[in-house]
Amino acid sequence: FFTFLLSSILDLRLSSCSRVVADGSSHLLLSASLLLLLLLDTGLPLMSTSKGKRDAAGLATNPATGFPYSKRYHKLLEKRKALPVWAQRDRFLDALSKHQTVVVSGIPGTGKSTQIPQFVFEARYACDGKQIACTQPRRVVAMSISSRVAEEMDVKLGEEVGYSVRFGNCSGPKTVLKYVTDGILLREAVSDKFLERYRVIILDEAHLRTLATDILLGFLRLLLKIRTDLKVVVLSNNFEAKTFRDYFKPTQLVKVQPVLHTAELVYAPEPVQDHVEASIEKIVQILSSEPSGDILVFLTGVEEINNCSWRLKKVISDLGDQIGPVKIVPVHSTLSLEMQKKIFKAAPPPSRKAGPLGRKIVLSTDIAESSLVIDGIVYVIDPGFSKQKVYNPWLNVESLLILPISKPTAFRRALCARRSQPGKCFRLYSEKFFSESLPPQVSPEILRANLASTILVLNKLGISDLFQFGFMDPPAAEAVTRGIEMLNNLDALDADGNLSKLGELMCEFPLDPQMSKMIVSSPNFHCSNEILSIAAMLSGDLNSQKREKEKSRVLLHRWVEDTVLRTQCALICRSCGLQQVSHCHWHIGRLLSKSATLLPAACRKSSSC
């Protein structure tokens, strides 16, 4: 009716106005015209006319909300069209309509993470209550990208576009496009084996080969045979794209060709010993002698980032007016959404008229290699190392070790210097070290991780034989055997190798099996509160605390000592047949004299004591 009314009003000619007013129906037409103007003024959604202006999706109104697009949407749309992935939009959608799986390859910065999910949504795959899921290995990236996509789609974050990560959920009943960590999607598969709510699942950064991503790859390949309506999109870099194509045969490979500038590689004569100090020296050199441009420094962890930031501020203050204003920005996995926004802000302006330009120095873990694209980076400093989780099945110990990066990783780091303009990549190692010491490929996490949790989750999914599961890179038989032995010792498996009732309860906790067993069994010893405190501290991230303050360290010492003391007293009282800790004053007094030795070595290491 409104479409017809609008067309009628626009088609009226001045020469016929007198006849319309003279007619008895003129009052109805004028009243309807006023109603139409009121609706336009209030912003209520109207149906589009066939002659109206259409956007990239072919609609005059936002299909996600039903309201007209804002002016900002059209500005962002022009930026979207400038991305290299936009040129492959039609080819990608054609491949998705003909195949259950599609592999999209391209280097970081081509727009895969933000645009591919939007292409899928615009093709109306999220209908009839179905959703689109896009996985990310890191939660900070899932939150950051979902916020950007919500802006580009002209919707509010948490409604049509949302995210779900560990310790954070920003989605609702309206959500049709959801960014999740690979671990969260795996937890959803445990409760819903067929992932019925999703029509399309996009696995982003699949080339990082995290443990959860590898499990999802094998699980989805099995699920595709059962759910013929499900579609899977794998986003990868160019190095591993063919591997994913062969794994999901038959599938279609779509390559995104980027527009890159040149980047000069500068090697060190010899590998440096202290790469934090060497990075600071290289930053000072760039600030003093290189043309304007922001700097990206790769470090191995939060501790190195904080140390480098503190030392760098002192060095920059000593330089005084020799350089322009400098903003130091840390980037790591524990950043809040508000802190993430500072990453993408431009460098500060000159402090005085005609003075040197300001620069932004980004101190990042490997998260900035491909997951986060930061504009304005011209100089990259690559020490050649990163922290990797390694499990020793003989000692049953899992550790974070600082190890050399792979050649593809070094290539991705160098790419960060050639996105916006020609740049330089300073490698703090020699060319000989690059060719002889860096491994040729990224080692999948499943080959160096404790598999007890993996076996537990796969059993919950109904897969009891890991050797027949179909991993992209099957783990060693020794690692699988050690994982099964651990679960048997924890009584998580029965005699037939299936999950026991205790094992099913342990699956509900997103923790290591030992931690889950400790929590499930704690009520039997009347020490649940203390065990939950210990589990939270051991599984949480203590790096976010300000441990450099002596007061914080002392408080942490006292809390841990008191908690461990309570737990040991509870266990002793239980063995004596007592129900309350207060009934065993003798044990408490005896343990108090040794409270200084109760702090476990693992807790001391975790809290940097």
451 belongs to a structural domain: no
Is 257 a residue whose pLDDT tops 80? yes
pLDDT tier at 464, thresholds 50, 70, 90: confident
Is residue 390 a contact partner of residue 448, using CB atoms and an 8 Å limit?
A: yes
Instruction: Give 469-476's long-range contacts (Cβ < 8 A, gap of 24+).
Output: 469/218, 470/218, 470/221, 470/222, 471/214, 471/218, 471/446, 472/209, 472/214, 472/217, 472/218, 472/243, 472/247, 472/444, 473/209, 473/214, 473/444, 473/446, 473/447, 475/446, 475/447, 475/451, 476/447
- The more confidently predicted of residues 476 and 267 is 267
Q: Structural domain tally of the chain? A: 4
DSSP states along 170-236: E--TT--EEEEEHHHHHHHHHH-TT-TTEEEEEETTGGG--HHHHHHHHHHHHHHHH-TT-EEEEEE
Of 446, 466, 482, the residue at which a domain comes to its end is 446
Is residue 571 a contact partner of residue 563, using CB atoms and an 8 Å limit?
A: no
pLDDT tier at 59, thresholds 50, 70, 90: low
Please name the residues in contact with 227: beta carbons below 8 A apart, sequence gap of 6 or more.
194, 195
| Percent share of the chain, pLDDT over 90 | 44
488 belongs to a structural domain: no
Going by the DSSP 8-state scheme, the letter that residue 474 receives in this structure is P
Going by the DSSP 8-state scheme, the letter that residue 157 receives in this structure is B
Task: Write out the H or E segment, with its range, that includes residue 426.
Answer: strand 423-427
The pLDDT value given to residue 35: 41
pLDDT tier at 482, thresholds 50, 70, 90: confident
Ranges 70-79, 90-99, 386-395, 419-428: which has the least confidence: 386-395
Is 87 a residue whose pLDDT tops 50? yes
Is 446 a residue whose pLDDT tops 70? yes
Together in a domain, 251 and 308: no
Together in a domain, 202 and 160: yes
The pLDDT value given to residue 574: 53
Together in a domain, 288 and 366: yes
Together in a domain, 196 and 270: no
How far apart, in whole angstroms, are the C-alpha atoms of residue 413 and residue 570? Answer: 52
pLDDT tier at 390, thresholds 50, 70, 90: confident
| Percent share of the chain, pLDDT over 70 | 78
Together in a domain, 328 and 413: yes
Together in a domain, 183 and 108: yes
Give the CB-side neighbour count of residue 14, counting CA atoms within 13 A.
0
Together in a domain, 185 and 274: no
493 belongs to a structural domain: no
How far apart, in whole angstroms, are the C-alpha atoms of residue 92 and residue 262? Answer: 28
Together in a domain, 131 and 273: no
As given in the structure block, the two tokens for residue 271 are: 């590998």
How far apart, in whole angstroms, are the C-alpha atoms of residue 416 and residue 298? Answer: 11
598 belongs to a structural domain: yes
Segments forming the whole domain that contains residue 117: 71-255
Is 439 a residue whose pLDDT tops 50? yes
Is residue 131 a contact partner of residue 175, using CB atoms and an 8 Å limit?
A: yes
Confidence (pTM): 0.79
Together in a domain, 241 and 276: no
How far apart, in whole angstroms, are the C-alpha atoms of residue 153 and residue 283? Answer: 38
Together in a domain, 243 and 305: no
Is 545 a residue whose pLDDT tops 50? no
Please name the residues in contact with 410: beta carbons below 8 A apart, sequence gap of 6 or more.
382, 384, 427, 434, 438
Please name the residues in contact with 8: beta carbons below 8 A apart, sequence gap of 6 or more.
29
Please name the residues in contact with 512: beta carbons below 8 A apart, sequence gap of 6 or more.
450, 452, 453, 539
76 belongs to a structural domain: yes
487 belongs to a structural domain: no
The pLDDT value given to residue 179: 97
Please name the residues in contact with 4: beta carbons below 8 A apart, sequence gap of 6 or more.
none
Question: CB-based burial of residue 1 (10 Å sphere; 0-12 exposed, 13-18 middle, 19+ buried)?
Answer: exposed
Together in a domain, 365 and 407: yes
As given in the structure block, the two tokens for residue 192 are: 């819903």
Is residue 347 a contact partner of residue 327, using CB atoms and an 8 Å limit?
A: yes
On average, the pLDDT of the chain sits at 80
Together in a domain, 99 and 157: yes
Highest mean pLDDT among 79-93, 418-432, 453-467: 79-93
Task: Write out the H or E segment, with its range, that includes residue 4.
Answer: helix 2-11
How far apart, in whole angstroms, are the C-alpha atoms of residue 473 and residue 444? Answer: 8
Is residue 411 a contact partner of residue 441, using CB atoms and an 8 Å limit?
A: no
151 belongs to a structural domain: yes
Rounded mean pLDDT, 160-173 = 90
The pLDDT value given to residue 196: 94
> For residue 356, which phi and psi values (nearest 5 degrees)?
-65, 145
- 258 preceded by a cis bond (ω within 30 of 0): no
469 belongs to a structural domain: no
- The CATH number given to whatever domain includes residue 95 is 3.40.50.300
How far apart, in whole angstroms, are the C-alpha atoms of residue 203 and residue 291? Answer: 39
Would you tell me the crossing angle of helices 182-191 and 211-226 to the nearest 10 degrees? 40
How far apart, in whole angstroms, are the C-alpha atoms of residue 522 and residue 556? Answer: 23
